Amino acid sequence: MENTVQINRNDGLKRFVSIIDQYFAMGGNQIQFNVVSKKTLLEAQKEPDKYANLLVRVAGYSAYFTQLSKDVQEDIIARTEEKL
Amino acid sequence: MKVKDSYQISTQPVRTERIDRLYQYITSSTYGICVERARLLTEYYREHPDQAPIVRRANAIDHVLQNMSIYIMPGSLFAGNHASHPRWAPLFPEFDAQWMEDEMIKGDPYFPDKRPEDRYIFPEEDKTVVQEICDWWKGKTVTDILCTRLPKEAVDTHFHIKAADIGAYFQGGDGHFAPDHPWLIQHGVKEIIRGCEEGLRKIDYKNDPECIKKRDFYEAAKISAKAVIKFAARYADLAEKSAAKESDPVRKTELLEMADICRHVPENPARNFREALQFIILTHICIQIEDNGAGISFGRFDQFMQPYYEAGIMDGTLTKELATELTENFFLQIYTCNKVRSWGDTDFFRGVPMFQNLTIGGVDPETMDDATNDMSYIALDATYNTRIPQPSLTVRFHKKTPMEFKMRVAEVVRLGTGLPSIFNDETYTRAMMNRGYEMKDAYNYCIIGCIEPGAPGLLGGRTGGAWLNCTKALEMSLYNGKDPRTGICLHKNKSGKTLATFETYQEAEDAFVDQMKYYIKMEAILENTIDQVWEEMLEEPMAAIFACPTTTIPRGKPIKQGGAKYDLTGQQTIGTANIANSLYVIKKLVFEDKAVTGAQLQHALETNWQDEETNPTGPQIKAMCLAVPKYGNDVDEVDFIARDMLGMIATELSSYKNTRYGRGPIGGTLHCSTSTVSSNTPFGHVCGATPDGRDAYMSVADGQSPMRGTDVNGPTAAIASVAKLHNELFSCGSLYNMKFSPEELS
């Protein structure tokens, strides 16, 4: 422990997997994720043509962000960006 | 654009030339409306008024399949199209023709190509055809009949108050099942025809009071089975014709192979990997053409494809690369399916979802060991490389899921397409067994539609149903049962009180529970009236023989007469976070801290927090409401309200029987899910300000997620809250959305 602060490029992914494991161990049923920065979503709102292929999770399905109504876009933008 | 803003934007997929070309071809096609199905179906119905409803329907769909335009996409190794162009949507006037006339002819509220979003090309020359179709169906559609048959209370609930909305099933058809693909590809459709002929021979005309119904069913089922075989033969002919004109020898061979395959499947069992996929595409598309239901699932894809994969590797006809390309081609092929809804209903289905779910991972129900296999990884790769929203990929996790697989799932999630979603075998199977599933069937579950579990090939009914607007029920409980937006009052509080006059927190909670139960009853009336009308008018032979061939055919019954092993009516419960947070604000601010009176809070809600003249002012009261702890932060006081209220709703829902109860299937009730689609937006539009600090008409919370932006104590606290709910009661599935910044997953 004293000798290394290893930079492992999968540390974030491992923490992510352990959050799912923890949630399921507690009795959680289901989980799904958006992995996108607010910055990207705001840029996509401004320049929809450039981001035409950007997929996001709405609810039990994914859709092209720029094709969603403003209300649904705002809903996704306003969701809490969690930190691991 | 840096990787940490979006992996999806910053990384390039690895695709073969074929796959890349297909991707470009399909995604360059704009959404459009295809009138062929509606025209052909109407033609048949108009000319054949005298047949039994189920036989007439089978023949009408056969007429569509034999006469609609077919095409083969450039470079595709598979045949099968849903409408005249990729991502064009057929029309289903037998369910509802009024919206077609309003929108396509009158442009009310918009012409399809002038919609603000979810626009569809609609060729000008098709207007006359649509007008003729609408004229013929006037007064005869499912919606026309439902509007007559539904009690006024249920009509008000659906159309006006919007405490429940079931528009998708006015316009739709069930959808929402997982065909028995493993059985079908192993037996071929000819086995269905054989089963029907045997059934016809065995009908006991002396003693069986259902003998005539059975005869009609078998006749219709045979017509539908043969229709699919003839549909496949049309592609075989087309492939041969295209091959004759093809100058590229490689493509020529591919087309000739396609012709051979389409002459063989789906009539006969699939002989190899490619044939199995072609089989599934053809049956899937025929199901999609039969009705306007969504959510046709592919079941446990990795489990039933693995034997074909292994056989191909063993005999040298397949490599991992080829299997991946074929799987990606399959994904793109089914991505061409599309369905259009009325503008009003589109609010609930933003972003043209089709819910064609495909499940991988989980356990083997026989051995209870981990079932992850080569095809699980190939399906993940195909999702990673195609980067299209369909199929909706689902992964089952359990205690023995290998870490390597979980890490690959995490990499695909990190891409940010929202796929796959992840399910917990331990809780999902318990929830299913609580509704009567046998253990081996529960552990063989797949996901149907969004997040709903079902045993593939064994579940009838539908996993989708009405959206239940719990926030609306809560709001009305604060106004003695009156809807403040419309002024309609269908059901007064038992106490006759309002938020201003409740004397204890318990009175507020009791009023909510009472309103909620009343609107659950309204939902059950809506669900069961629709099912009753369908059973009388629109029994669906194609869905019956592909959804549950091992029960419908021996029983001689379609789904709506009780043909499935399991039959449950699903639904979607919306607004958990809003009701829990609102009730907790009432409890804490009004009755515990006495920071505001019920009358002050009610006035603030009625004025949408705008009244500056009161003391405290509207904005001050809103700030106080927002400051009360919210569901999603591991605070027991509010989380337990969410647990108990959602538990109450789930229990109440499953106390209502559906129209198949006692007619053969296990189950036979409604049951609860927390799936949302995009209903939280339109439901928000009809709900005034709520005590959780939400502004009037703003979207309510999605699924059983915390209200957006109110989970502020990190992911561990958020998952703790969501896991506290009675998840084992949500046998129709759970939905929880979480968002991460990409840099967190690096």
User: What are the per-10-residue average pLDDT scores of chain B (746 residues)?
Assistant: 84 95 95 98 98 97 98 98 97 97 97 96 97 98 96 97 95 94 98 98 98 98 98 98 98 98 98 98 98 96 98 98 98 97 93 96 97 98 97 98 98 97 98 98 98 98 96 98 98 98 98 98 98 93 98 98 98 98 98 98 98 98 98 98 98 98 98 96 97 98 96 97 98 97 91
Subunit contact B387:A24, Cβ cutoff 8 A: no
Is there a contact between A33 and B450 if contact means CB atoms under 8 Å apart?
A: no
User: Pairing relation of β-strands B737-740 and A30-35?
Assistant: parallel
CA of residue B160 relative to chain centroid, distance: 24
Which one, of B583, B538, B584, lies nearest residue B561 by Cα? B538
Percent helix / strand / coil, chain A, rounded to 5: 45, 15, 40
- The CA radius of gyration of chain B, in Å to the nearest whole number, is 26
Q: Map out the domains of chain B as residue ranges.
A: 13-50+81-148, 292-456, 467-735
Three-state SS string over B161-182 comes to HCCEECHHHHCCCCCCECCCHH
pLDDT for A1: 39
In B420-464, beta strands by DSSP E: 421-424, 446-448, 452-454, 459-462
Pairing state between β B572-574 and B467-469: parallel
CA distance A77 to chain B (A): 9
pLDDT by residue (tens digit) across B275-309?
999 999 999 999 999 999 999 999 999 999 999 99
Contact A20 B422 (CB under 8 A): yes
Q: Would the pLDDT of A6 be above 60?
A: no
- Domain residue ranges in chain A: 11-78
Answer yes or no: is pLDDT of A4 > 90.
Answer: no
The pLDDT, as a whole number, for residue B3 is 73
Best residue of B672, B727, B745 to probe chain A, by most A CBs closer than 10 Å: B745
Closest alpha carbon to B516 in B365, B402, B655: B655
Optimal mutation site among A80, A81, A83, A84, interface B, most CBs of chain B within 10 A: A80
Residue with tokens 């991972």: B361
Least Cα distance to B467 among B423, B392, B527 occurs for: B527
Element (H, E) at B737: strand B737-740
For residue B435, how many C-alpha atoms fall within 13 Å in the half-sphere facing its CB? Answer: 39
B550 near A CB under 8 A: no
Residue B461 to residue B559: CA distance in whole angstroms: 7
CA–CA min distance B405, chain A (Å): 10
B426 contacts in chain A (CB < 8 Å): 24
The beta-strand segments (E) located in A1-84 are: 30-35, 55-57, 62-64, 81-82
DSSP one-letter code for A77: H
Tokens, residue B687: 């709900």
Q: How confident is the model at residue A8 (pLDDT cuts 50, 70, 90)?
A: low
d(CA B173, CA B33): 18
Q: Rounded to whole angstroms, how far apart are CA atoms A40 and A45?
A: 9
Q: Which sign, positive or negative, has the C-alpha torsion B42, B44, B49, B52? A: negative
Partners of residue B406 in chain A, C-beta under 8 Å: 17, 20-21
Reported for B201-208, long-range contacts at CB under 8 A and 24+ positions apart, including other chains, are B203/B556
Classify the complex by whether its ipTM is higher than 0.90, answering yes or no.
yes
Q: How many residues does chain A have?
A: 84
B236 Cβ contact partners less than 8 Å away, ≥ 6 residues apart? B258, B259, B260, B262, B263
Quick one: pLDDT at residue A3? Answer: 41
Q: Does B320 touch chain A (CB under 8 A)?
A: no
Residues of A in contact with B719 (CB under 8 A): 19, 22-23, 26, 28, 31
Provide φ and ψ at B534, rounded to 5°: -60, -45
Cβ atoms of residues B171 and B123 within 8 Å: no
What whole-number distance in Å separates Cα of residue B347 and Cα of residue B341? 9
Round to whole Å and give the CA distance between B636 and B644.
12
Contact A36 B411 (CB under 8 A): no
CB contact under 8 A, A39 and B5: yes
Alpha-carbon B227 to chain mean position? 26
Q: Where are the alpha helices (DSSP H) in B207-267?
A: 211-245, 249-264
Q: How far is A3 from chain B (nearest CA, A)?
A: 23
Give the pLDDT of residue B457. Answer: 98
Residues A28-74 have pLDDT tens digits of 999 999 999 999 999 999 999 999 999 999 999 999 999 999 999 99
Inform me whether the C-beta atom of residue A26 falls under 8 Å from chain B C-beta atoms.
yes
CB pair distance less than 8 Å for A60 and B350: no
The whole-angstrom distance between B265's CA and the closest CA on chain A is 30
Taking only residues 2 to 21 of chain A, the set having a beta carbon closer than 8 angstroms to any beta carbon of chain B reads 9-10, 12-17, 19-21
Mutant choice from A35, A73, A75 vs B, greatest count of B C-beta within 10 A: A35
DSSP at B370: B
User: How far apart (Å, rounded) are the C-alpha atoms in residues A73 and A68?
Assistant: 6
CB contacts under 8 A, B 160-189 vs A, are none
CA-nearest of B363, B335, B354, B355 to B423 is B363
Q: Return the structure tokens found at B604.
A: 């603030």
Cβ neighbours for B626, distance < 8 A, ≥ 6 positions apart: B692, B693
Sequence-ordered list of residues with C-beta below 8 angstroms from that of B366, at least 6 positions apart, any chain: B440
Q: Write the residue in B1, B677, B712 that is nearest to A60 by C-beta.
A: B677
pLDDT recorded at residue A2: 40
CB B22 within 8 A of CB B75: yes
